[in-house]
Amino acid sequence: MKKLLAPLGVLLLLALTAPSLLAQDATTAAEGAAGAANTAWIMTATALVLFMTLPGLALFYGGLVHKRNVLSVLMHCFAMACVLSIVWLVAGYSFALKGDGSWFGDFSAMFGKGLDGSDGEGGGIPPVLEFAFQMTFFIITPALVVGTFVERVKFSAVMLFTVLWGLLCYAPICHMVWFGGWLSGDGKGVIDLAGGVVVHITAGVAALVFCIMIGPRKNPQPPHNLAMTVTGTCMLWVGWFGFNGGSGLAANGAGAMSIVVTHLSAATAAVTWMVIDVITTKKPTVLGICTGSIAGLAAITPASGVAGPMGALLIGVASGAVCWYFSVKVKNMFGYDDSLDVVGVHGVGGLVGTLLAAVVALGALQGNSNGLDPEEYSGTWISQLGVQALGSVFTVVYTLVVTVVILVVIRALVGLRVDESEETVGLDQASHGETAYND
């Protein structure tokens, strides 16, 4: 009898435990599949965001300057990408992502301490991939500022600005908004999925300070190669799918929606700018439609995690019109030489999108509430608008002060501007001893 009961006991134990074991296996398999999908997508998104700087932004800006300065613009973007990658490893990653301080990260991950090839947990991405993805944002943000000081800046000043501004301005704002600082929070912090505050407002304010402190160009010339600018615009547009679509760090429906609203906002802003061109100049300009698309891309960036298609149309129209006004009317009114409209497009576009993020999250505009209770959000969007305004104002003030201090130091150390003779010859020859076109 005992010999018969023993096998029956084993069978009974297996029958009782098998469902839980199978459920655990199924859960593990699902997490593994999700982790693999997320990792594959964010690896792709990382490449797309780097593609935005090299070569997208470089070509976009390069086509807009005189032919004697095109290599200098390409060099600025290329060198920035290289230098900032090293700075990110040494300190930027630790300052931006690590620690639980309200204002700043910590020193725990300096020189990449703790990074290895381990996989992410529970369907998440590997830590080293988050390092790489966030590094591409660290690269492109100072590179956006290049468009404001072209054709007259010292290369040494650019390199010093790149390092100091990345560590003292970008990294703290990044930590405050995205990684546990006082501007972040579960449903109560600033809505900024991919960088309306962190990337575009900071770059726009820095650009305004830089162009005022360095002074206007002596003899500005029309763009030398708009075909190059169109090519760069198209690269930026495609790369922005990784910029916004990857910022949720998951291959899911939310990421897909981010890509859709990104595209719709860019297209709508481009058409809006083109229509304004036709009304004001009687002709649709290539430069106008390209600039309009970038304005729409910049504006949807903070709201790309909460906007639906109708919200994207709203942001596209608003950014196309407002950015046109600041790039054409306000710039001429005040006389600052924001050479390639970094202030009017990125700074103003980022601000428009950051404020409207509180509005387009409403269900009536096909949006979602970014973690807030959807049934309650319709009654709280005004308070969220206040949060968005507070975060924007703080970022403007902080960036302005830090950028002024950095540029004062750089001006004392190496100077900001090349000599008038070098500006006349062109920075390609004066700074790099080369020319882009040998004919």
Confidence grade of residue 186 (pLDDT, cut at 50, 70, 90):
low
- Residue in the block written with tokens 């003899």: 219
Q: Is residue 310 part of a domain?
A: no
The answer to whether 162 and 415 are in contact (CB under 8 A) is no
Q: Alpha-carbon torsion 385, 387, 391, 397, what sign?
A: positive
- Residue 154 to residues 75, 83, 427, 430: CA-CA distances in angstroms? 12, 16, 9, 10
Q: What percent of the chain has pLDDT over 90?
A: 82
- Residue in the block written with tokens 């969007």: 381
Q: What is the pLDDT of residue 249?
A: 95
Mean pLDDT of 407-436: 97
**Type of residue numbered 124:** G
The answer to whether 223 and 285 are in contact (CB under 8 A) is no
Mean pLDDT of 243-260: 96
Asked if residue 117 has pLDDT above 80, the reply is yes
Q: For residue range 272-324, what is the model confidence (pLDDT) as tens digits? A: 999 999 999 999 999 999 999 999 999 999 999 999 999 999 999 999 999 99
Mean pLDDT of the chain: 92
Q: How far out from the chain centre does Cα 79 lie?
A: 19
Mean pLDDT of 350-374: 88
Q: Bridge-partner residues for 153, per DSSP?
A: 417
Is residue 8 exposed (0-12), middle (13-18) or buried (19+ Cβ within 10 Å)?
exposed
373/99: higher pLDDT: 99
Rounded to 10 degrees, the C-alpha dihedral 337/161/180/118 comes to 130
The answer to whether 295 and 323 are in contact (CB under 8 A) is yes
The answer to whether 154 and 74 are in contact (CB under 8 A) is no
Q: What is the pLDDT of residue 415?
A: 97
In this structure, how many other beta carbons lie within 10 angstroms of the beta carbon of residue 69? 26
Q: Is residue 363 part of a domain?
A: no
Mean pLDDT of 207-235: 97
Number of domains making up the chain: 1
Asked if residue 15 has pLDDT above 60, the reply is no
Q: What is the pLDDT of residue 12?
A: 52
Range(s) of the domain holding residue 409:
37-101+122-256+337-357+384-432
Q: What is the pLDDT of residue 380?
A: 84
386 Cβ contact partners less than 8 Å away, ≥ 6 residues apart: none
Q: What is the pLDDT of residue 272?
A: 98
The answer to whether 315 and 296 are in contact (CB under 8 A) is yes
Q: What is the pLDDT of residue 22?
A: 45
Mean pLDDT of 206-219: 96
Worst-scoring range by mean pLDDT, 120-124, 264-268, 374-378, 390-394? 374-378
In this structure, how many other beta carbons lie within 10 angstroms of the beta carbon of residue 411? 15
d(CA 337, CA 339): 5
Worst-scoring range by mean pLDDT, 228-232, 373-377, 378-382? 373-377
Q: For residue range 95-108, what is the model confidence (pLDDT) as tens digits? A: 999 998 889 999 99
In this structure, how many other beta carbons lie within 10 angstroms of the beta carbon of residue 430? 19
Write the DSSP string, 220-277.
Answer: ----S-HHHHHHHHHHHHHHHHHHHHTTT-SSSHHHHHHHHHHHHHHHHHHHHHHHHH
d(CA 164, CA 410): 10
Mean pLDDT of 115-125: 84
Confidence grade of residue 25 (pLDDT, cut at 50, 70, 90):
low
Q: Is residue 96 part of a domain?
A: yes
* CATH number, residue 142: 1.10.3430.10
Asked if residue 198 has pLDDT above 70, the reply is yes
Q: Is residue 31 part of a domain?
A: no
The answer to whether 198 and 170 are in contact (CB under 8 A) is yes
Q: Is residue 17 part of a domain?
A: no
In this structure, how many other beta carbons lie within 10 angstroms of the beta carbon of residue 108? 11
Q: Is residue 3 part of a domain?
A: no
Mean pLDDT of 133-149: 98
Asked if residue 166 has pLDDT above 90, the reply is yes
Confidence grade of residue 171 (pLDDT, cut at 50, 70, 90):
very high
The token duo for 111 is 């020189």
Asked if residue 168 has pLDDT above 90, the reply is yes
The answer to whether 112 and 87 are in contact (CB under 8 A) is no
Q: For 177, phi and psi rounded to 5 degrees?
A: -90, -40
d(CA 182, CA 177): 7
Helix/strand/coil for 213: helix
Nearest of 292, 261, 279, 285 to residue 367 by alpha carbon: 261
Nearest of 396, 288, 304, 305 to residue 351 by alpha carbon: 396
pTM for this predicted structure: 0.92
Asked if residue 18 has pLDDT above 70, the reply is no
Q: Bridge-partner residues for 417, per DSSP?
A: 153
Mean pLDDT of 3-14: 52
Confidence grade of residue 14 (pLDDT, cut at 50, 70, 90):
very low
